[in-house]
């Protein structure tokens, strides 16, 4: 499918989705959000794809929701039209792991988009922020919720109240990103990580994604029970038998997603 605001490349078992509005630092307008949802749904359905990588440009992962599209909206438009609710609903239904490869600005909705992904790998040039306060509004897609869970209350308040940016080093120290690499190595690191995940049983990687995400949506006891039940259910798969047999036979496993 031809898209206007994103570029999709399928490489081996990886769907690489690049945000592509260079003139607006990949600001998330309605077209981009629709196209991104479509590309994600397609990648999730495509049986060849085992992991998804989402990235932007060297200068910006995404500088937030498109301010020019929001500027004239009223409360009735925003609340009545349930602004920005369709996109996360679709995004969060994707069952395959999604890696955000972030270089440059990840601000507002851009930071929130990265946080909706399963792993964030950052280049040393990355800057994260929730600067909506400077526009007289606040975060609307997880900037007060996910960010608080990732970096704690004090830093989340700091970023949301002052609008200051967090650099890559601070983001790694605070638990927002999983690793920081030199800008030149960002894509090779993200693709190598995706390739590593693609080698695993897809049943197991989907189970991991569901279980880790459950930890944000339930009490510890409920989350632990959910995790244990999913763990039990993986013993119904051939991949479990193969993975454990391969370990004992000192060979590489051949997963068949069965
Ligand atoms: N929306 C629209 N256009 C943008 C945006 C944006 N968020 N960010 C940058 N641009 C445009 C600029 O207007 C400029 O366009 P032009 O060349 O036509 O004037 C072009 O991109 C380049 O930007 P700058 O010249 O400003 O580049 P600088 O390097 O000087 O500055 C910054 C880079 C610091 C990133 C700066 O552009 C900036 O502050 N951008 C706005 C950041 C921001 O406030 N983001 C939050 C937006 S609100 C939001 O995200 C709410 C989220 C709600 C949910 C979202 C669901 C998806």
- H/E run at residue 98: strand 98-102
pLDDT digits (tens, 9 = 90+) for 44-84: 999 999 999 999 999 999 999 999 999 999 999 999 999 99
Task: Report the percentage of the chain scoring pLDDT > 70.
Answer: 100
94: tokens are 């994707």
Catalytic residue among 56, 64, 109, 143: 109
pLDDT at 223: 85
- Per-residue pLDDT band at 217 (split at 50, 70, 90): confident
In the structure, which protein residues have their CB atom closer than 6 angstroms to any atom of ligand 1? Answer: 24-25, 27-28, 33, 63-68, 84, 87, 105, 107-109, 131-132, 135, 140-141
Q: What is the pLDDT of residue 220?
A: 85
pLDDT surpasses 90 at 216? no
Residue 172 bears catalytic tag: no
Centroid of ligand 1 to alpha carbon of 24 (angstroms): 6
Q: Which two tokens stand for residue 1?
A: 């499918």
Q: Per-residue pLDDT for 115 more than 80?
A: yes
Taking 90 as the threshold, does the pLDDT of residue 190 lie above it? yes
Contact 167, 125 (CB under 8 A): no
- Closest atom of ligand 1 to CA, residue 28: 57
pTM of the model: 0.95
Neighbours of 228 (CB within 10 A): 11
Determine the distance separating the centroid of ligand 1 and the alpha carbon of 108, expressed in angstroms.
9
Give the pLDDT confidence score for residue 107 in this predicted structure: 98
Q: What domains are there in the chain, each with its CATH number?
A: 6-198 (3.90.226.10), 201-249 (1.10.12.10)
Quote the pLDDT of residue 46.
97
Confidence of residue 224 (pLDDT cuts 50, 70, 90): confident
Tens digits of residue pLDDT in 137-165: 999 999 999 999 999 999 999 999 999 99
Catalytic residue among 65, 114, 122, 198: 65
CA 98 to centroid of ligand 1, rounded, Å = 24
Please confirm, yes or no, whether 112 is among the known catalytic residues.
Answer: yes
Q: Which residue among 67, 83, 90, 102 is best mutated to probe the pocket of ligand 1, counting the most ligand atoms within 8 A of its Cβ?
A: 67
Q: Is the pLDDT of residue 173 over 80?
A: yes
ipTM of the shown complex: 0.98
Q: How far, in Å, CA of 145 to CA of 45, rounded?
A: 29
pLDDT digits 0-9 by tens, 80-102: 999 999 999 999 999 999 999 99
At residue 226's C-alpha, the angle toward residues 206 and 145, to 5°, is 80
Average predicted confidence (pLDDT) for the chain? 96
Contact between residue 78 and residue 36 where contact means Cβ atoms under 8 Å apart: no
* Rounded Cα distance, 90 and 75, in Å: 24
Q: What is the pLDDT of residue 174?
A: 98
Cα 59 to ligand 1 centroid, rounded to whole Å: 12
């Amino acid at each position: 499918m031809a898209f206007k605001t994103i570029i999709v490349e399928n490489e081996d078992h990886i769907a690489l989705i690049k945000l592509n509005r260079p003139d607006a630092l990949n600001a998330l307008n309605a077209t981009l959000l629709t196209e991104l949802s479509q590309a994600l749904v397609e990648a999730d359905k495509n049986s060849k794809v085992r992991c998804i990588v989402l990235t932007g440009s060297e200068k910006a992962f995404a500088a937030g929701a498109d301010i020019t599209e929001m500027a004239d909206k009223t409360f009735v438009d925003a609340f009545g039209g349930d602004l920005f609710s369709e996109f996360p609903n679709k995004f969060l239904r994707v069952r395959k792991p999604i890696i955000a490869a972030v270089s440059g600005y990840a601000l507002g909705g851009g930071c929130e988009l990265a946080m909706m992904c399963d792993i964030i790998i950052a280049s040393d040039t990355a800057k994260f922020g929730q600067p909506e306060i400077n526009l007289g509004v606040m975060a609307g897609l997880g900037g007060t919720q996910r960010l608080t869970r990732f970096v704690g209350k004090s830093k989340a308040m700091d970023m949301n109240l002052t609008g200051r940016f967090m650099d890559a080093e601070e983001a790694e120290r605070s638990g927002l990103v999983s690793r920081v690499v030199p800008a030149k190595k960002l894509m090779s690191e993200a693709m190598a990580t995706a390739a590593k995940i693609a080698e695993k049983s897809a049943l197991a990687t989907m189970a991991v994604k569901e279980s880790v995400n459950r930890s944000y949506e339930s009490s510890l006891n409920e989350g632990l029970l959910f995790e244990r039940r999913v763990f039990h259910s993986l013993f119904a798969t051939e991949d479990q038998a193969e993975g454990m047999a391969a370990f004992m036979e000192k060979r590489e496993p051949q997963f068949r997603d069965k």
